Structure 1
Amino acid sequence: MSESYVTLITTLTSAGVGGAVALVGVYLTNKGNTARQDVQLAHQTQIERAELLRARGEELYELIDKWLNNLFGYYMVKASVMQGKLSYNDGLDLELKNGKTNSGNYGRIQMLIDVYFPAIREQYDCVLSLREATNKHVFLHKRAYERGETDGTAFLKPFTDNQLSLEAAAEKLKEAVIAQVRAV
């Protein structure tokens, strides 16, 4: 009987040790798989975020480019009116014609900058500030034109100077967008 107890104890001990080793093996395998999945998920998330930022950056660049092209087209008409090449009414007709074909979602520019690219906010604000200063000259010319002062040459120099500053700031903004997209 003692021999059967020894055999039973040996069998139970072997089964217990084998089961414990199997449990430790399963635990270590699961822990390794979980760590691998975490690394894989983090990598996949990083790739998806980079793709999202790249896509949003490209969209932002396209929107800014379209906005600036439309803005400078508008300013070309205003400069022609100031130079006397166009009447004010002809200029307005051109603006209406261009406005119908040049619609854009320019509010999205600000949203994309605020959400995805806050590092370029300073360049964007600079462009807005210079646009406002340039528009001031357009407004002053309009008021003078409404008073019957059709010679806009007095407004042309400050208007052109502001527009050149605006163009330089616009190029810096576009370069900043490109730098942000490349950094992704």
Structure 2
Amino acid sequence: MSDFLTIFNSVSPAVTGAAAALIGVWLTNTGNDKRAGLQAKTELEKERRTILRACGDELYRHTYGWGAQLRSNTLIWHGAMVGQYGVNEALDMEAADFNRRNFDYGRIEMLVDVYFPEARTQLDSLLHHRDERSKCINAFKRSYKAGDGDGRAFATQLMDSVAVYESAFNKFVQTIVKTMRAL
């Protein structure tokens, strides 16, 4: 029995030490795994915010380019409607303005659909008001083609539709800015 106690007294500290070492290693590995997982999650979130900021900047730039061209186009047709110049000159100016465009409308759609879906409602509203503006310009063109050169009534309609369009444009831009600020 005394041999058993001697062996037990000799082996028990080694077993206890080994068990403590295994528990220590397990705790260290578990902590490292949690830390690595948290670090990976933090890095992924940081990368997501960086991508969203870059896409938001791009969307903002394309949106302002698109808005500037629509404003320019509106002024061209307003000038033709009030008789500052003829429709043929307006068509030439419109073609030249189109060739100088500095935006990609398809990119606007893609960026909204993929990265900024919360702005989709405002973009749809903006498109609706843009279409109303275009209907006014097209009605003037048809009237001009039919022989009616006085477009003053259309000019008033056009400016009213542009005021509503500008309001929708500002709401769209505000949604983009609000989303980017939340990043």
TM-score, normalized by length of structure 2? Answer: 0.92
Aligned to 2:125: 126
2: CA distance, partners of 1:103 / 1:89: 24
Aligned to 1:34: 33
Q: How does 1:1-184 map to 2 (within 5 A)?
A: 3=3, 6-184=5-183
**TM superposition shift of 1:153:** 1.2
| Structure 1: runs of 5+ lacking an equivalent | none
Aligned residues: 183
**TM superposition shift of 1:154:** 2.1
Higher relative contact order (CA 8 A, sep 6+): 1
**3-state SS of the aligned residue for 2:47?**
helix
2: CA distance, partners of 1:173 / 1:44: 30
**TM superposition shift of 1:90:** 0.7
| Structure 2: runs of 5+ lacking an equivalent | none
CA distances 1:143-170 after superposition (whole Å, capped 9, x unpaired):
1111222211121111110011111211
1: CA distance, partners of 2:7 / 2:60: 78
**3-state SS of the aligned residue for 2:98?**
helix
**TM superposition shift of 1:7:** 4.4
2: CA distance, partners of 1:23 / 1:64: 60
RMSD: 1.7
